[in-house]
Amino acid sequence: MLLSAAGAVSAAVDAQTLTPLTTDQYVPFERVQNTRDLGGLTTEDGRRVLPGRLYRSGNPAFATPSDIAKLQAMHLDVVLDFRADSEKQPAEQAFAALFPWQADPVLAGNLSPGAIVPMLKRSTPAQMHQFMIELYRQFPGTYRAQFARFLKLAEDDKTMLYHCTAGKDRTGFATVLLLSALGVDRASVIANYLESNRYNAAGNAQATAQLQKIGVAPDVVAPLLAVDPDYISAAMQVIDQQYGGMQHYLVDVLHVDVERIRRNYLGPATQPQD
Protein backbone atom coordinates (compact mmCIF):
# COMPACT_ATOMS: atom_id res chain seq x y z
CA MET A 1 0.00 0.00 0.00
CA LEU A 2 1.92 3.02 1.29
CA LEU A 3 5.59 2.09 1.49
CA SER A 4 7.26 0.27 -1.33
CA ALA A 5 8.55 -2.67 0.66
CA ALA A 6 6.44 -4.05 3.33
CA GLY A 7 7.48 -6.02 7.21
CA ALA A 8 7.91 -9.45 8.42
CA VAL A 9 4.53 -9.24 9.96
CA SER A 10 1.52 -11.49 9.86
CA ALA A 11 -2.00 -10.65 10.90
CA ALA A 12 -3.58 -12.52 13.75
CA VAL A 13 -5.86 -14.72 11.69
CA ASP A 14 -8.15 -17.31 13.18
CA ALA A 15 -7.16 -20.33 11.11
CA GLN A 16 -10.39 -22.11 11.97
CA THR A 17 -12.54 -19.41 10.35
CA LEU A 18 -10.44 -19.13 7.18
CA THR A 19 -10.28 -22.54 5.59
CA PRO A 20 -7.42 -23.07 3.12
CA LEU A 21 -9.06 -22.53 -0.26
CA THR A 22 -8.19 -22.84 -3.90
CA THR A 23 -7.05 -19.31 -4.58
CA ASP A 24 -5.18 -17.24 -7.13
CA GLN A 25 -1.85 -18.06 -8.74
CA TYR A 26 1.29 -16.27 -7.61
CA VAL A 27 3.29 -14.83 -10.52
CA PRO A 28 7.00 -14.46 -9.65
CA PHE A 29 8.89 -11.39 -10.83
CA GLU A 30 12.33 -10.04 -10.05
CA ARG A 31 11.20 -6.58 -8.90
CA VAL A 32 7.39 -6.56 -8.88
CA GLN A 33 6.01 -7.80 -5.60
CA ASN A 34 2.76 -9.49 -4.67
CA THR A 35 1.74 -10.25 -8.26
CA ARG A 36 -1.12 -12.69 -8.62
CA ASP A 37 -3.37 -14.02 -11.36
CA LEU A 38 -6.92 -14.34 -10.04
CA GLY A 39 -7.50 -17.27 -12.36
CA GLY A 40 -8.48 -20.46 -10.57
CA LEU A 41 -10.66 -19.02 -7.84
CA THR A 42 -13.96 -20.86 -7.62
CA THR A 43 -17.36 -19.17 -7.42
CA GLU A 44 -20.26 -20.27 -5.26
CA ASP A 45 -21.97 -21.86 -8.27
CA GLY A 46 -18.91 -23.96 -9.15
CA ARG A 47 -17.39 -21.86 -11.93
CA ARG A 48 -13.74 -20.81 -12.05
CA VAL A 49 -12.16 -17.48 -12.83
CA LEU A 50 -10.33 -17.77 -16.13
CA PRO A 51 -6.52 -17.46 -15.96
CA GLY A 52 -4.55 -14.79 -17.76
CA ARG A 53 -7.18 -12.04 -17.56
CA LEU A 54 -7.10 -10.40 -14.13
CA TYR A 55 -3.87 -9.58 -12.31
CA ARG A 56 -3.19 -7.73 -9.07
CA SER A 57 0.22 -6.54 -7.92
CA GLY A 58 2.39 -4.06 -6.12
CA ASN A 59 3.95 -1.20 -8.05
CA PRO A 60 5.36 -2.59 -11.34
CA ALA A 61 7.16 0.60 -12.36
CA PHE A 62 10.66 -0.58 -11.46
CA ALA A 63 10.39 -3.84 -13.34
CA THR A 64 13.59 -5.33 -14.72
CA PRO A 65 13.91 -6.00 -18.47
CA SER A 66 12.96 -9.63 -17.76
CA ASP A 67 9.93 -8.47 -15.79
CA ILE A 68 8.89 -6.13 -18.59
CA ALA A 69 9.06 -8.93 -21.13
CA LYS A 70 6.90 -11.08 -18.88
CA LEU A 71 4.37 -8.28 -18.44
CA GLN A 72 4.25 -7.62 -22.17
CA ALA A 73 3.51 -11.31 -22.74
CA MET A 74 0.36 -10.88 -20.67
CA HIS A 75 -1.13 -8.69 -23.46
CA LEU A 76 -2.59 -6.24 -20.97
CA ASP A 77 -5.32 -3.87 -22.11
CA VAL A 78 -4.79 -1.63 -19.11
CA VAL A 79 -2.44 -1.18 -16.16
CA LEU A 80 -4.49 0.65 -13.53
CA ASP A 81 -2.63 2.58 -10.82
CA PHE A 82 -4.46 3.52 -7.62
CA ARG A 83 -1.59 5.73 -6.37
CA ALA A 84 -1.49 9.53 -6.37
CA ASP A 85 1.25 11.57 -8.02
CA SER A 86 2.82 12.26 -4.62
CA GLU A 87 3.58 8.54 -4.29
CA LYS A 88 5.40 8.23 -7.63
CA GLN A 89 8.94 8.92 -8.78
CA PRO A 90 10.05 10.49 -12.08
CA ALA A 91 11.89 7.31 -13.08
CA GLU A 92 8.55 5.50 -13.35
CA GLN A 93 7.70 7.31 -16.58
CA ALA A 94 9.89 4.96 -18.59
CA PHE A 95 7.68 2.05 -17.55
CA ALA A 96 4.49 4.01 -18.12
CA ALA A 97 5.48 4.65 -21.72
CA LEU A 98 5.65 0.90 -22.43
CA PHE A 99 2.17 -0.03 -21.22
CA PRO A 100 -1.43 1.23 -21.36
CA TRP A 101 -0.95 2.66 -17.86
CA GLN A 102 -3.67 4.88 -16.40
CA ALA A 103 -4.04 6.44 -12.96
CA ASP A 104 -7.20 6.66 -10.86
CA PRO A 105 -5.94 7.64 -7.41
CA VAL A 106 -7.51 6.38 -4.21
CA LEU A 107 -5.99 8.72 -1.68
CA ALA A 108 -6.89 9.05 2.00
CA GLY A 109 -4.69 12.02 2.88
CA ASN A 110 -1.05 12.27 1.84
CA LEU A 111 0.29 8.73 1.57
CA SER A 112 3.75 9.69 0.31
CA PRO A 113 6.74 8.50 2.35
CA GLY A 114 7.45 12.14 3.25
CA ALA A 115 4.13 12.31 5.07
CA ILE A 116 3.93 8.75 6.39
CA VAL A 117 7.35 8.60 8.08
CA PRO A 118 6.73 11.60 10.41
CA MET A 119 3.36 10.11 11.31
CA LEU A 120 5.02 6.80 12.19
CA LYS A 121 7.55 8.55 14.41
CA ARG A 122 4.86 10.21 16.50
CA SER A 123 2.41 7.30 16.66
CA THR A 124 1.84 4.21 18.79
CA PRO A 125 1.04 0.73 17.40
CA ALA A 126 -2.59 1.19 18.48
CA GLN A 127 -2.81 4.53 16.69
CA MET A 128 -1.44 3.05 13.47
CA HIS A 129 -3.85 0.14 13.70
CA GLN A 130 -6.71 2.61 14.05
CA PHE A 131 -5.33 4.72 11.18
CA MET A 132 -5.59 1.69 8.91
CA ILE A 133 -9.11 0.88 10.08
CA GLU A 134 -10.21 4.45 9.36
CA LEU A 135 -8.57 4.34 5.93
CA TYR A 136 -10.53 1.20 5.04
CA ARG A 137 -13.77 2.73 6.28
CA GLN A 138 -13.32 5.45 3.68
CA PHE A 139 -12.95 3.07 0.74
CA PRO A 140 -16.64 2.19 0.10
CA GLY A 141 -18.00 5.74 0.27
CA THR A 142 -15.32 8.34 -0.34
CA TYR A 143 -13.75 6.42 -3.21
CA ARG A 144 -16.72 4.66 -4.71
CA ALA A 145 -16.32 6.52 -8.02
CA GLN A 146 -12.80 5.15 -8.44
CA PHE A 147 -13.83 1.60 -7.61
CA ALA A 148 -16.86 1.88 -9.89
CA ARG A 149 -14.57 2.89 -12.76
CA PHE A 150 -12.31 -0.06 -11.94
CA LEU A 151 -15.25 -2.45 -12.18
CA LYS A 152 -16.36 -0.76 -15.41
CA LEU A 153 -13.07 -1.94 -16.93
CA ALA A 154 -14.09 -5.46 -15.95
CA GLU A 155 -17.50 -4.91 -17.55
CA ASP A 156 -15.64 -3.90 -20.71
CA ASP A 157 -13.81 -7.25 -20.69
CA LYS A 158 -10.34 -5.80 -20.23
CA THR A 159 -7.30 -7.94 -19.54
CA MET A 160 -5.84 -5.88 -16.74
CA LEU A 161 -3.25 -5.50 -14.07
CA TYR A 162 -4.23 -3.17 -11.23
CA HIS A 163 -1.97 -2.04 -8.43
CA CYS A 164 -1.07 0.44 -5.72
CA THR A 165 2.31 0.38 -3.95
CA ALA A 166 2.46 -2.96 -2.17
CA GLY A 167 -0.70 -4.33 -3.78
CA LYS A 168 -2.45 -4.95 -0.50
CA ASP A 169 -4.83 -2.19 0.66
CA ARG A 170 -6.34 -0.24 -2.22
CA THR A 171 -5.60 -3.18 -4.51
CA GLY A 172 -6.85 -5.56 -1.82
CA PHE A 173 -10.18 -3.77 -1.47
CA ALA A 174 -10.57 -3.56 -5.26
CA THR A 175 -10.03 -7.33 -5.41
CA VAL A 176 -12.65 -7.90 -2.72
CA LEU A 177 -15.16 -6.03 -4.90
CA LEU A 178 -14.12 -7.79 -8.10
CA LEU A 179 -14.22 -11.29 -6.64
CA SER A 180 -17.55 -10.55 -4.99
CA ALA A 181 -18.93 -9.40 -8.34
CA LEU A 182 -17.68 -12.65 -9.86
CA GLY A 183 -19.58 -14.65 -7.25
CA VAL A 184 -16.73 -15.87 -5.05
CA ASP A 185 -17.87 -16.56 -1.49
CA ARG A 186 -16.87 -14.17 1.28
CA ALA A 187 -14.56 -16.60 3.12
CA SER A 188 -12.53 -17.13 -0.05
CA VAL A 189 -12.46 -13.41 -0.78
CA ILE A 190 -11.08 -12.65 2.70
CA ALA A 191 -8.56 -15.48 2.51
CA ASN A 192 -7.32 -14.08 -0.79
CA TYR A 193 -7.01 -10.61 0.75
CA LEU A 194 -4.93 -11.91 3.66
CA GLU A 195 -2.41 -13.65 1.41
CA SER A 196 -0.63 -10.34 0.89
CA ASN A 197 1.03 -10.92 4.27
CA ARG A 198 2.72 -13.99 2.85
CA TYR A 199 3.74 -12.52 -0.49
CA ASN A 200 4.98 -9.24 0.98
CA ALA A 201 6.87 -10.77 3.91
CA ALA A 202 10.37 -10.33 2.46
CA GLY A 203 9.74 -6.76 1.38
CA ASN A 204 8.11 -6.01 4.72
CA ALA A 205 11.21 -7.18 6.56
CA GLN A 206 13.40 -4.88 4.46
CA ALA A 207 11.11 -1.90 5.03
CA THR A 208 10.98 -2.56 8.76
CA ALA A 209 14.78 -2.65 8.98
CA GLN A 210 15.15 0.55 6.95
CA LEU A 211 12.59 2.42 9.03
CA GLN A 212 14.14 1.23 12.28
CA LYS A 213 17.38 2.92 11.23
CA ILE A 214 15.60 6.27 11.16
CA GLY A 215 13.84 5.84 14.47
CA VAL A 216 10.59 4.05 13.61
CA ALA A 217 9.88 1.14 15.95
CA PRO A 218 8.99 -2.19 14.28
CA ASP A 219 5.79 -2.56 16.30
CA VAL A 220 4.64 0.87 15.11
CA VAL A 221 5.20 0.18 11.43
CA ALA A 222 3.76 -3.35 11.56
CA PRO A 223 0.08 -2.25 11.30
CA LEU A 224 0.93 -0.17 8.24
CA LEU A 225 2.69 -2.97 6.43
CA ALA A 226 0.28 -5.78 7.20
CA VAL A 227 -3.15 -6.68 5.98
CA ASP A 228 -5.39 -7.52 8.91
CA PRO A 229 -8.87 -9.01 9.30
CA ASP A 230 -9.82 -5.89 11.28
CA TYR A 231 -9.07 -3.69 8.28
CA ILE A 232 -11.14 -5.47 5.67
CA SER A 233 -13.88 -6.11 8.25
CA ALA A 234 -14.13 -2.34 8.76
CA ALA A 235 -14.77 -1.80 5.03
CA MET A 236 -17.20 -4.72 4.83
CA GLN A 237 -19.08 -3.42 7.86
CA VAL A 238 -19.62 -0.10 6.10
CA ILE A 239 -20.90 -1.95 3.03
CA ASP A 240 -23.22 -4.14 5.10
CA GLN A 241 -24.56 -1.44 7.41
CA GLN A 242 -24.71 1.61 5.16
CA TYR A 243 -25.37 0.04 1.77
CA GLY A 244 -27.37 -3.10 2.55
CA GLY A 245 -24.70 -5.69 1.79
CA MET A 246 -22.22 -6.40 -0.97
CA GLN A 247 -24.61 -7.19 -3.81
CA HIS A 248 -26.68 -4.06 -3.15
CA TYR A 249 -23.49 -2.04 -2.98
CA LEU A 250 -22.21 -3.41 -6.29
CA VAL A 251 -25.50 -3.15 -8.20
CA ASP A 252 -27.32 -0.19 -6.64
CA VAL A 253 -24.43 2.02 -5.51
CA LEU A 254 -21.62 1.28 -7.98
CA HIS A 255 -24.09 0.35 -10.77
CA VAL A 256 -22.10 -2.72 -11.74
CA ASP A 257 -23.42 -5.27 -14.23
CA VAL A 258 -22.28 -8.35 -12.35
CA GLU A 259 -23.68 -10.77 -14.92
CA ARG A 260 -21.64 -9.13 -17.64
CA ILE A 261 -18.48 -9.36 -15.53
CA ARG A 262 -19.17 -13.03 -14.91
CA ARG A 263 -19.65 -13.70 -18.62
CA ASN A 264 -16.32 -12.03 -19.30
CA TYR A 265 -14.14 -13.86 -16.81
CA LEU A 266 -15.74 -17.12 -15.70
CA GLY A 267 -15.43 -20.54 -17.28
CA PRO A 268 -18.25 -23.10 -17.23
CA ALA A 269 -19.30 -24.81 -14.03
CA THR A 270 -17.18 -27.83 -13.22
CA GLN A 271 -18.95 -31.13 -13.69
CA PRO A 272 -19.08 -33.59 -10.78
CA GLN A 273 -17.04 -36.73 -11.24
CA ASP A 274 -18.91 -40.06 -11.58
| Residue 169: closest CA among 265, 67, 82 | 82
Q: Is 164 annotated as catalytic?
A: yes
How far is the C-alpha of 144 from the C-alpha of 140, rounded, in Å?
A: 5
Does the residue 6 lie in any domain?
Answer: no
Number of domains present in the structure of the chain: 1
How far is the C-alpha of 62 from the C-alpha of 195, rounded, in Å?
A: 23
Average pLDDT over residues 222-234: 97
Tens digit of pLDDT for each residue in 84-110?
888 888 999 999 999 999 999 997 656
Q: Is the pLDDT of residue 245 over 60?
A: yes
Active-site option among 164, 176, 191, 211 = 164
Does the residue 238 lie in any domain?
Answer: yes
Tens digit of pLDDT for each residue in 161-171?
999 999 999 99
Does the residue 272 lie in any domain?
Answer: no
Does the residue 10 lie in any domain?
Answer: no
Q: Is the pLDDT of residue 16 over 80?
A: no
Q: Is the pLDDT of residue 235 over 90?
A: yes
Does the residue 33 lie in any domain?
Answer: yes
Does the residue 9 lie in any domain?
Answer: no
Q: Is the pLDDT of residue 10 over 60?
A: no
Q: Report the predicted TM-score, pTM, of the whole model to 2 decimal places.
A: 0.90
Domain range for 142 is 25-260
How far is the C-alpha of 55 from the C-alpha of 38, rounded, in Å?
A: 6
Collapsed DSSP state (helix, strand, coil) of residue 56:
strand
- For 88-120, b where at least 16 C-beta lie within 10 A, e where not — what string? beeebeebbeebebeebbbbbeebbbeebeebb
* Residue type (1 letter), 169: D
Does the residue 224 lie in any domain?
Answer: yes
How far is the C-alpha of 78 from the C-alpha of 87, rounded, in Å?
A: 20
Does the residue 206 lie in any domain?
Answer: yes
* Cα 40 from chain centroid (whole Å): 17
- CATH, residue 224: 3.90.190.10
